[in-house]
Amino acid sequence: MKNLLVLLLIVSLPAVGNEYPDSSRWLYTVAGFQLEDEVVGDRAGQIIATGSSSMRLWDHSIHRDFAPLPMMSRGFCGSNMNDLLVHLDVIVLKHKPGAVIIYEGDNDIAQGVPVTVVLETFEDVVLRILDDNPKTRIYLISVKPSIARESLWAEMTEVNQGMQAISKSNKNVFYVDVATPMLNPDGSRKPDLYVSDGLHMSQAGYDIWREVVVSFVKRHEAVQ
């Protein structure tokens, strides 16, 4: 638990100007992924779920929720899209996945990175995955409407709109909207979806993700 709390603190690490924080801070975590890869062996063709703490903390049930689809969990708390881009070879590409599920953008905006830079980085990640294998399906999960970051929601909404646009540019890229069902009809937040920090999700939040994300992915993977 202590190590997890340390990782969650990285969320607040600010960007420098218009640039992302240094992604070398993840070398220890990435080395851990590599060690696990050596132990487990080849998992080509599986679905890789990666992204920041919302994805990492889904570990408690993600394999059960997506069963019988073969899943590899590669979330790393506090990460942003540039962290994923920098470490994409180890986290994603080396595994030759059938599909990739990504949750990023949340920390990017909280770290002060401009929306335009965030979306350019999203595009870079998508293009690198598709350049490696054009048949890979990519599922981009929308930024969630947390209580703690409500003041940033306008920018996060722009990121979500940008992800939608990216998804329309390629038949193998999909936008998964978790934001709408996580809001009340009047646009207000649902406190029960979050733990005490107002940022990370409670089981009720993950129940919505299971209903929305899992059903969406299973529906599209079934036709492959």
Q: Give the pLDDT confidence of 66-101 residue by residue, as tens digits.
A: 999 999 999 998 999 999 999 999 999 999 999 999
Span 191-218, pLDDT tens digits:
999 999 999 999 999 999 999 999 999 9
| Domain architecture of the chain: domains with CATH | 41-221 (3.40.50.1110)
Answer yes or no: pTM beyond 0.75: yes
Using alpha carbons, select from 85, 95, 97, 89 the residue that is nearest to residue 137.
97
Instruction: Judge residue 60's burial from the number of C-beta atoms within 10 Å of its C-beta, 0-12 exposed, 13-18 middle, 19 or more buried.
Output: exposed
Rounded Cα gap, residues 72 and 44, in angstroms:
10
What digits encode the pLDDT tens for the residues 24-68? 988 989 999 899 888 988 888 999 999 999 999 999 999 999 999
Residues 6+ positions from 171 with CB-CB distance below 8 Å? none
- The pLDDT of 117-139, averaged and rounded, is 97
